[in-house]
């Protein structure tokens, strides 16, 4: 199995503070990584690094295209949900809408979704977008 993510000797400094150094990791298809630790230890920064939103201060990272489903909705709030999700141009739009129980909301403007519906819509972005990771 080839790795979708491989990091070697990763070092990350944020705000002048060393978060981690010498980190090696590898993930293949179907594998998961469970991050735990106290606030401020670098968990979210590592996720941003993996998603390509940050660059390591040292080391090397190789990744497949990555999708990040964080707290940002990243959907056009004025468009109906299905149209807003279609922006991501993935081939599995209908499948993702059904998988997250959003069928009955496909024509509802994103701005009218409840908090929980918005969370499901945010998660639906990942399979809709083409990334493998």
More confident residue, 133 or 18: 18
pLDDT at 1: 47
> Is 106 exposed, middle or buried (CB count within 10 Å of its CB: 0-12, 13-18, 19+)?
middle
pLDDT at 31: 87
Residues in the chain: 133
Question: What does the H/E/C string look like for 35-76?
Answer: CCCCCCCCHHHHHHHHHCCCCCCEEEEEECCCCCCCCCCCCC
Looking at the chain, the whole-number percentage of residues with pLDDT higher than 90 is 51
Return d(Cα 79, Cα 90) in angstroms, integer.
17
Q: Is 117 helix (H, G, I), strand (E, B) or coil?
A: helix
Residue 64 clears pLDDT 70, i.e. is over it: yes
pTM for the structure as a whole: 0.67
User: How do residues 65-82 score in pLDDT, each as one tens digit?
Assistant: 777 777 777 889 999 999
User: How do residues 33-58 score in pLDDT, each as one tens digit?
Assistant: 899 999 988 998 998 898 888 999 99
Q: Quick one: DSSP state of residue 104?
A: G
pLDDT at 90: 67
Q: Compute φ and ψ for 43, nearest 5 degrees.
A: -60, -55
**Sign of the C-alpha dihedral computed for residues 27, 131, 120 and 118 taken in this order:** positive
pLDDT at 98: 92
User: How do residues 78-111 score in pLDDT, each as one tens digit?
Assistant: 999 999 888 876 667 888 899 999 999 999 999 9
């Amino acid at each position: 199995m080839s790795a979708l993510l491989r990091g070697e000797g990763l070092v990350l400094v944020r705000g002048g503070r060393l978060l981690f150094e010498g980190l090696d990791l590898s993930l293949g298809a179907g594998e998961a990584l469970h991050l735990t630790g106290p606030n401020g230890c670098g968990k979210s920064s590592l996720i941003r690094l993996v998603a390509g939103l940050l660059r390591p201060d040292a080391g090397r990272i190789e990744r497949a295209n990555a999708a990040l489903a964080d707290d940002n909705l990243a959907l056009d709030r004025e468009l109906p949900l299905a149209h807003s999700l279609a922006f991501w141009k993935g081939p599995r739009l209908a499948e993702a809408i059904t998988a997250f129980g959003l069928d009955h909301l496909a024509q509802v403007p994103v701005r009218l979704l409840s908090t929980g519906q918005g969370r499901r819509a945010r998660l639906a972005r990942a399979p809709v977008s083409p990334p493998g990771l």
